Structure 1
Amino acid sequence: MMERDSAGFFFVDALSLCQTSGRPYHLEKRFLHNVNYQTTTTTLQAAEIKRQAFLEARRQKLNQKFLQVTRVVKENQARKENRHLLFLRSLELAESKRNHHLEQRRSASKKSVERAKIIALQHHRKYQAEREQLRRHLEERLEKTNTRRLHLLKLPKSSLLKTHKMREKEETKTMSKTSTTTVPSPEKQRKQSWLTLLQAFRDLGLPNPLHRDTWQEFGPLGDLLRKPQVIIITSKILNVALRKTDKECSRKRARVLLTAYMILMCPAEVLQDAEGAQEQQLRTVAKETLENFESWLQLHDDSAGLTAKRSFQDSWRNFYQQFEAWRTKDHDALVNNVFDYCIELLQLKTLLAENDDPSPMMQVEQQLSEVKSRLRQIGGQSALDRLAVAEQNLDQGSVSEDGPSSTPRSPDKIDKTVNPEEFTKLLSSYAPYMSSAITNEQLVHELILDPEFKLQKYRPRSDLEDRVKTMATKAFFDKIAEEYDRGDWQTSIAPLLQDVREQLVALVRPGTAVHSSICETLDINLLEQQSSKNIFDIDKTLTYIGTIMSHICAPVRDEVIHELPHLETMDRLHRILEILEDMTLDLANYRLRALRPHLMPIAVEYEQSKFAEKMGKGDLPNTTQWIAESFKRLYDAAAGRDPEGILPPKQCNPSLDDTFEEAMISLIMSPDLITVDTCPETLVMDRQRLLDYQNQAQAVTMVAALLMLAKNVNTSKSAELHSLSDKLFLLLEDHSTTVDHLAAEIDAAVAVRDESRLMMRSMVDKTLSHSDSLYSLLSRRVGSVLKSYIHSSGEFVTPAILTSYGLEYVDKPLKSLCRSVLALVLHHRQVYNTYYRQIIRNISVGS
């Protein structure tokens, strides 16, 4: 209620407006005391529906997100696969381009060869026409000369003199005109040069090996052959025959050929044993060589000259090898004779030392000085060193002259003429030292092919076998120690000392002071008596044994022998037995080295006889197939170079040496392993050696291919590639090496990026495949270098050729392989040449 006061203000009564405040509107809905139950239930259901709708929306959103991620992953995988397919297509395209390029080069080479053959045929026809024209011209001149001679016979002498002078003037004018107007062609110059050289050789007056009436005696023939002009002209003729250009060895070859005249015509004066088997064979080969040489000189300009030249080259190689073997034997015999003479003078000097008269001693010393000078000339410094060791042994007595040193202190002399029974017995004595069973024939074969061949001590093949051996040895010596402690001397120490005594006696020469000392001191009966009276001192006996061993052992054993006094008794006895086994092996290896020079002259004949005994009259199927395949390859290649069929089939037949070299190279470069069933019968003893050569050839090819790959990826310095080459060879020697190891080494050497490592690994794997064109190309080039080295008898290709072949960084391993293969080829030519020649004779075409 509102009122107005006196002042004119209005008043409102607010008491009626006061009431209790209610809850806020947004909170009022939460309280259900004024809401019925049905309304509440409807609200909860709506909330649940909203909640389910929210969860479903969330679930759909997550599902859409998952589908989106899956799609992105698939797109990324598809892009990777596309890139991989693109990379593979790029590799295939590169491979096809490379093959296309190689095919183009091959086609171009074929066309060049065909064109060269046409040009060669044209030159041949032109040469034949020129020869025919020259022949007609000579016939006309002869006819005119004959007519003029008949006419002049009817004239008086005064007219003859005038006519002769006039004719000389006319010929002089004609020659001057011809010389100023005509220039001979290179072919004519070459022919004229050869005719001049041949005429100079004929003017030397050498005897004709085909006519015995021209042969000379030893004195006049020797004087003739020693003339410098004879040696110079013969060397030039021989260089033409052998296609040699080196001037350093030409005179040596000429002297060897001239020696063939002496061997053929004066065998009694030249050969020490003219009736010996080696000397008879040498004389036969010398005769064959000279006859082929004379035939080639006569047929040089004819079509048969090429065949005669090949025959001479074959016989020359055979003669040169046998001459070198004979010369080595003769040289060794001369050195041994001079050495023995020096020993006799030294002994005489020792006897004259007690004489008061100095004059004989001075004469002996002067003679000894002259003989030493002669020994140095023919034997070199090694012969003087050997003499110095022998002189020292003479000064010290006989203690140190019986045992082997690094080169044993006193060499055992082997008879120069060894009969077959003694030879077989001698070889059989070395067989027990081999780690596996070996025949005498195999031992001889290894000695000839490997100058460094040594008998090896047997070693356990596995860790288990090594542990078993160590445990058995320890148990044996523990038992020996127990028995010795119990006083059982007979079953413990006696057998071991008897074994030590026998080995020491075998190491010294009978009849010497050392031999007598060992027999007396290590008398088993005496030691048994000492043991029965309890006065036997085993340490003193072992000390004596160690002293003797230090006198007769090689210097390489000194260190281990000096350690013996510091060991326990049984350990010392065990070590003594081991060292004696090594010393016995040293002596056996030394005797083999001493046997080798005397074995060389008879090794070929020995192997031939053994092979004939083993094979009997049976055929050689594997060898025949092996030689026939090589013969067919060479024949087809020769026939392919003559598609017009100008040459007769017989002239396409390869020679024996070419066929054998091709067969050996194809065997070594073959990717197939040489098994026992497929190995040629003549190479059975060399099967493991050939497998090693195969591994070496494959290693050289692989390293060359990998280096070419590394060089293409990143051009590196020569020193870095040489270092990489050495590392790759070391990796290939390890059997656990994989492609990943090789790829990792190349990655480190050429700094390959991380993203390119997978590609590099794939390229390395592809390059090492035998079917890869790069590997096949390098393999053929390695075989070509091998064949060239064998064909030239030891002349390695030039660095320029190696660089063009891509083999400049593997030159040392390749040269080592060439030397090994050449030694095997030369030996097999001598031993089995008869069998190979018969096989080729049976399969020759047009013969």
Structure 2
Amino acid sequence: MSKENPNKSPSWEDGRGDPDKARNSAESPEPLDQSLRKRIRQNTPSPHRGSTPQSSPPKFVSVEELMETAKGVTNMALAHEIVLNGGFRVTPSQPLEGSLEKRVKDIVHKAFWDCLEAQLAEDPPSYDHAIRLLGEIKETLLSFLLPGHGRLRQRIEEALDLPLIQQQAENRALDMGKVAAFVIETMGQLCAPSRDQDIHKLRDITAIIPLFKAILSVMDKMKIDMANFAVSSIRPHLMQQSVEYERKKFQEFLDKQPNSMDFTQKWLQDTANALLNGDWEGGASSAGASAPIPSMLHPLVVHNHAYLHLLKWDHTFCPFPETLLMDQRRFQEMQWEVEELAVVAAVLLIVYNNAGAAISGLPQLMERLKGTMRVLLAEMHSPSFSVDEAFATIAEQMCEEVRGSLAQHGFSPFSADRQAVLRGQICALKLLDNSIRKLIDSRIQTYLLGFLESSQRGSPTALPGGLAPVQKELEEVAIKFSRLVNYNKLVFAPHYQRILQDVLREGGHLALGPALAGERDS
């Protein structure tokens, strides 16, 4: 980050290794923290949502304890986000245009700069506002320093010695241009390489007020850079410690709210019941869709199927398991992507069955058809999405592409009757109970379950028939899904193991076997 010592890592002592201090090192991370709090509030199940399972007796705690617990959960959410989201970035806060916050901010800033300009225009100039501004700039520069920046710290302290600057101002010896030049030089030493152009532009500004406005603007960008540098630096350390940290924080929350795993227990109980009753949604199982109804189940089998069920979740009416609330959005986005890929694969299966072998050797056509559909299905889960219109458009586009490709390569024309059949079969896919759509969906579920199990065994997963056109996209989803599931298992394995053993033992269906991942380390 720093050009003076690029290999120096931030330490926990100066606050750059602490996610809370990294978050507070710039003005912008505040909305991030608010968004995480909002996500937790939105996803936390209310006793009035859905059918609430039997709760443990309420335990009364003080407001102070609840506030402390809420803070711990927020910190846990931030650490969780940093660990699982490789693209996690702190971004600047921008008030909405026309909002009260934006108007107040603009008024306050304008008042400050107008006052500063008026003071500097006096004869003799008044430097009260200017010295306060230099004090803020000094503190910001010092906040960018790492422990190894001893000499640079000393230079900043000497060059921006506020009592000395005050004396120079009283004796009319203060040169604001010289002070600004030192500030710009120091910023150039501390900024990321991506800010070099911004620093260069500062040197071209000669008017004092515009210059200091620009200096503060670039400093705000440097704060964001520093916060993101801190995030990337602490990620490896968080990866090592986050499992124990999240487990500890959740246990603290559970101690104060004993009924905080009711929906998690219901999620696992419902999955076990579905497997034992043979009414598992999608028909996916490690033994295949036609496997006999089991009389004994191992907790790991139930657990894997439970995660697969999250990709079929009704997020509107069914409370999400408490242990997974921080990842509900991730699971929902994967669910949407899986549903989109199922439609794409089903359409392509129909197209290639109707068009025959003539187009099977045209890989560019396959990619073009797939790309067209993904564009048309991009808003598939938005309220404004028109199912009838989208599938009619897809059907027309597929006919057009196939007709053009057959003509281009000298094959027999794609007759009007065959086009009508193709349109009808594609439009029928808009129904969730369409047999082809259900078949493809079941195969995707089987593949994802197999991928999850193979990641635990270390063996490859076979791709079911009909999924080859979306193999790459499906593998990407499977990797994200497996990574998220395995991390969650590590964190909450003791709780899951206890719940699953109780559920299966109670009905006499517990099969002995290895513990869940992470249980042995708890």
Deviations 1:396-426 (A, max 9, x none): xxx711xxxxxx54212459xxxxxx99993
SS of 1:411 mapped into structure 2: coil
Tell me the equivalent position of 2:76.
441
Tell me the equivalent position of 2:9.
411
1:257-296 matches, cutoff 5 A: none
Whether the 8 Å contact between 2:23 and 2:227 is mirrored in structure 1 is: no
One-letter amino acid of the structure 1 residue matched with residue 223 of structure 2: T
Indicate yes or no: 2:298 matched with 1:659: no
Q: Structure 1 residues 455, 516: CA separation in 2 closer, same or farther (over 3 Å shift)?
A: same
Whether the 8 Å contact between 2:304 and 2:452 is mirrored in structure 1 is: yes
One-letter amino acid of the structure 2 residue matched with residue 484 of structure 1: L
1:473-622 matches, cutoff 5 A: 475-487=107-119, 492-510=129-147, 512-567=150-205, 569-616=208-255, 617-618=258-259, 620-622=261-263
Match of 1:822 among 482, 494, 503: 482
**How far 1:594 moved relative to its partner?**
2.7
> Please, which runs of 5 or more residues in structure 2 have no aligned partner?
37-73, 121-125, 286-292, 405-413, 511-522
One-letter amino acid of the structure 1 residue matched with residue 224 of structure 2: L
**How far 1:628 moved relative to its partner?**
1.1
One-letter amino acid of the structure 2 residue matched with residue 440 of structure 1: N
Deviations 1:38-90 (A, max 9, x none): xxxxxxxxxxxxxxxxxxxxxxxxxxxxxxxxxxxxxxxxxxxxxxxxxxxxx
**How far 1:531 moved relative to its partner?**
3.5
Indicate yes or no: 2:326 matched with 1:681: no
Q: Structure 1 residues 410, 727: CA separation in 2 closer, same or farther (over 3 Å shift)?
A: farther
Indicate yes or no: 2:9 matched with 1:400: no
Distance 1:429 1:481 in 2: 29
Distance 1:621 1:738 in 2: 37
Q: Structure 1 residues 591, 824: CA separation in 2 closer, same or farther (over 3 Å shift)?
A: same
Asked which structure has the greater CA Rg, the reply is: 1
Whether the 8 Å contact between 1:669 and 1:698 is mirrored in structure 2 is: no
**How far 1:637 moved relative to its partner?**
4.0
Tell me the equivalent position of 2:349.
708
One-letter amino acid of the structure 1 residue matched with residue 134 of structure 2: L
Distance 2:279 2:421 in 1: 43
Tell me the equivalent position of 1:836.
496
Distance 2:377 2:475 in 1: 18
TM-score under structure 1 normalisation?
0.45
Distance 2:109 2:204 in 1: 18
Whether the 8 Å contact between 1:669 and 1:779 is mirrored in structure 2 is: no
Indicate yes or no: 2:438 matched with 1:766: no
**How far 1:771 moved relative to its partner?**
3.0
Distance 2:451 2:175 in 1: 65
Distance 2:16 2:328 in 1: 24
Tell me the equivalent position of 1:10.
none
**How far 1:791 moved relative to its partner?**
0.2
Tell me the equivalent position of 1:35.
none
Distance 1:554 1:440 in 2: 27
Whether the 8 Å contact between 1:669 and 1:697 is mirrored in structure 2 is: no
**Hey, which of these two has a bigger chunk of helix by percent?**
1
One-letter amino acid of the structure 2 residue matched with residue 550 of structure 1: G
Deviations 1:254-291 (A, max 9, x none): xxxxxxxxxxxxxxxxxxxxxxxxxxxxxxxxxxxxxx
Tell me the equivalent position of 2:461.
797
How many residues are paired up? 422
SS of 2:143 mapped into structure 1: helix
**How far 1:786 moved relative to its partner?**
0.9
One-letter amino acid of the structure 2 residue matched with residue 610 of structure 1: K
Tell me the equivalent position of 1:396.
none
Deviates more, 1:503-512 or 1:743-752: 743-752
**How far 1:755 moved relative to its partner?**
7.9
Tell me the equivalent position of 1:749.
401
**How far 1:518 moved relative to its partner?**
1.5
Distance 1:722 1:574 in 2: 50
Distance 1:425 1:707 in 2: 49
Tell me the equivalent position of 1:780.
442
Distance 1:520 1:764 in 2: 75
Deviates more, 1:757-766 or 1:626-635: 757-766
Indicate yes or no: 2:233 matched with 1:635: no
Whether the 8 Å contact between 2:454 and 2:461 is mirrored in structure 1 is: no
Whether the 8 Å contact between 1:701 and 1:778 is mirrored in structure 2 is: yes
Structure 1 stretches (4+) deviating beyond 6 angstroms? 422-425, 638-641, 752-762
Indicate yes or no: 2:311 matched with 1:668: yes
Whether the 8 Å contact between 2:347 and 2:426 is mirrored in structure 1 is: yes
**How far 1:533 moved relative to its partner?**
4.0
SS of 1:486 mapped into structure 2: helix
Deviations 1:281-318 (A, max 9, x none): xxxxxxxxxxxxxxxxxxxxxxxxxxxxxxxxxxxxxx
Indicate yes or no: 2:265 matched with 1:624: yes
Distance 2:135 2:345 in 1: 59
SS of 1:563 mapped into structure 2: helix
Distance 1:492 1:430 in 2: 29
Whether the 8 Å contact between 1:638 and 1:652 is mirrored in structure 2 is: no
Whether the 8 Å contact between 2:341 and 2:470 is mirrored in structure 1 is: yes
Whether the 8 Å contact between 1:770 and 1:776 is mirrored in structure 2 is: yes
Q: Structure 1 residues 630, 552: CA separation in 2 closer, same or farther (over 3 Å shift)?
A: same
Distance 2:453 2:302 in 1: 11
Distance 1:518 1:695 in 2: 53
SS of 2:237 mapped into structure 1: helix
**How far 1:506 moved relative to its partner?**
0.8
**How far 1:828 moved relative to its partner?**
1.6
Tell me the equivalent position of 2:92.
457
Distance 1:714 1:498 in 2: 74
Distance 2:491 2:11 in 1: 28
Distance 1:541 1:727 in 2: 58
User: Which has the higher relative contact order, 1 or 2, with Cα contacts under 8 A spaced 6 or more apart?
Assistant: 2
TM-score under structure 2 normalisation?
0.70
Deviations 1:514-544 (A, max 9, x none): 1111222223333333344444333333332
**How far 1:626 moved relative to its partner?**
0.7
Deviates more, 1:712-721 or 1:547-556: 712-721
Tell me the equivalent position of 1:377.
none
Q: Structure 1 residues 714, 506: CA separation in 2 closer, same or farther (over 3 Å shift)?
A: same
Identity of aligned residues (%): 23
